[in-house]
Structure 1
Amino acid sequence: MSESAVRGAEGPRVVLRRFSQADAEEFTARARESRSLHHPWLFPPERPAAYAAYAAPLIDNPARVGYLVCERSDGAIAGFININNIVGGGFLCGVLGYGAFAHAAGRGLMSEGLGLVMEQAFGPLGLHRLEANIQPANEASLALVRRAGFRLEGYSPDFVYVDGAWRDHERWAFTTEMWR
């Protein structure tokens, strides 16, 4: 396991580790290979310079934590799960952003990875709530949060600017009470 591994974030098939600039080549190659899987929902960086800008705030920023979901067998990056917009105080909440890479899609690796991220969120990070905002037609993303036990809390029209337009999103959430 690399130095950037997250303590205790290891499952039967995946290991979580933190983003590093050294992952640029593999991450961007996987993003390019996965373009048809991601679009029109997600636009991860496909070039090392774009990756550097994307990863920097996930590496050293208390309001964002980024995890690479890596296959335990060979360390290959299967996907990523970020906790963005972390707010402390009386809120203790973060918003998930995630994506699988094409070679790993449909194999259950992201479900296992999300479970490990939830352990980090409700354990060491001390969050009370995780949210996921998902476009209604993004069936794979909706299936992931459903499998993890998130509950549908609402619908927000014109919520997030994606691919040149304001897109509607469903709001899903999971709280520490549900974790227990």
Structure 2
Amino acid sequence: MPHTASRYLAEGPRVGIRHFTYDDAAEFSARARESKDLHHPWLFPPDSPQAYTTYAGRLIDDPTKAGFLVCEKDGGAIAGFININNIVQGAFLSGALGYGAFAHAAGRGLMREGLDLVVGHAFGPMRLHRLEINVQPSNTASIALARACGFRREGFSPDFLYIDGAWRDHERWAITAEMRASGSAQS
């Protein structure tokens, strides 16, 4: 029986990760609209096909960004998204992660599986050395996800990002390729 290529860059038991495409506009924006209460006040993903096209274009065309959709293997529904922003090559080999689950997938462990896959892809084929996540201290679900995936808390940054009309404090969480390889992480 011939081997068929997977549509995913990496797969776990329940999800696969793949890059954003322009064809995902309708599903992504509908899921963003359904998830407004879950995301507010931390995250504002594009909730119209037009806004999605602009957003996805930056992830598709900008070499300092990489966007991944976390998709349920059973049916292919988009469960969430994980972006690596501010990718720096050279001696730094680093990127900053941003992510969000969609309401139908929240609390099911799909984003943990997806984030593990993205981290493996970043440290494997992308050849990055370090990933950082910046999280508002009151976003306990996002902090729990970072911790569960082996990120360590490295510090606190007051007035770090301008979100929802104000400068917001953030905790800094990070993981390196060596930490992942050894399984060592601390909170």
TM-score range, shorter chain: over 0.9
After TM superposition, the structure 1 = structure 2 runs for residues 15-164 of structure 1, keeping only pairs within 5 Å, are 15-164=16-165
CA distances 1:102-138 after superposition (whole Å, capped 9, x unpaired) = 0000000000000100111000000000000000000
Contact kept, 8 Å, 1:82 with 1:98, in 2: the verdict is yes
Unaligned runs of at least 5 residues, structure 2: 182-187
Label 1:59 to 1:4 Cα distance change in 2 as closer, same or farther (>3 A): farther
Do the aligned partners of 2:17 and 2:71 also contact (CA within 8 Å) in 1? yes
The 1-side partners of 2:69 and 2:49 are apart by 16
Structure 1: unaligned runs, 5 residues or longer: none
The percentage of counterpart residues that share the same residue type is 68
C-alpha distance in structure 1 between counterparts of 2:57 and 2:166, whole Å: 26
SS at match of 1:12: coil
CA offset at residue 32 of structure 1? 0.3
Which residue type is aligned with residue 162 of structure 1? I
Q: Which runs of 4+ in 1 moved over 6 A?
A: none
Alpha-carbon separation, structure 1, partners of 2:115 and 2:140 = 17
Counterpart of 2:165, as a letter, is: G
The SS at the match of 1:45 is coil
Measured in 1, the distance between the counterparts of 2:8 and 2:106 equals: 23
Deviation (angstroms), 1:6: 4.0
Q: Distance in 2 between matches of 1:166 and 1:38?
A: 17
Larger radius of gyration: 2
With normalisation by structure 2, the TM-score equals 0.92
- AA aligned to 1:165 is A
Q: Report the CA distance between 1:157 and its aligned residue.
A: 0.3
SS in structure 2 of the partner of residue 145 of structure 1: helix
Secondary structure, aligned partner of 1:44: coil
1:5 CA displacement = 3.6
Alpha-carbon offset, residue 179 of structure 1: 1.3
TM-score (structure 1 length as normaliser): 0.96
* 3-state SS, counterpart of residue 99 of structure 1: strand
2:180 maps to what in 1? 179
CA shift, 1:59, in A, is 1.2
8 Å contact kept, 1:15–1:69: yes
Q: What secondary structure sits across from 2:55 in the alignment?
A: helix
Residues 5 and 18 in structure 1, CA contact (< 8 A), matched pair in contact too: no
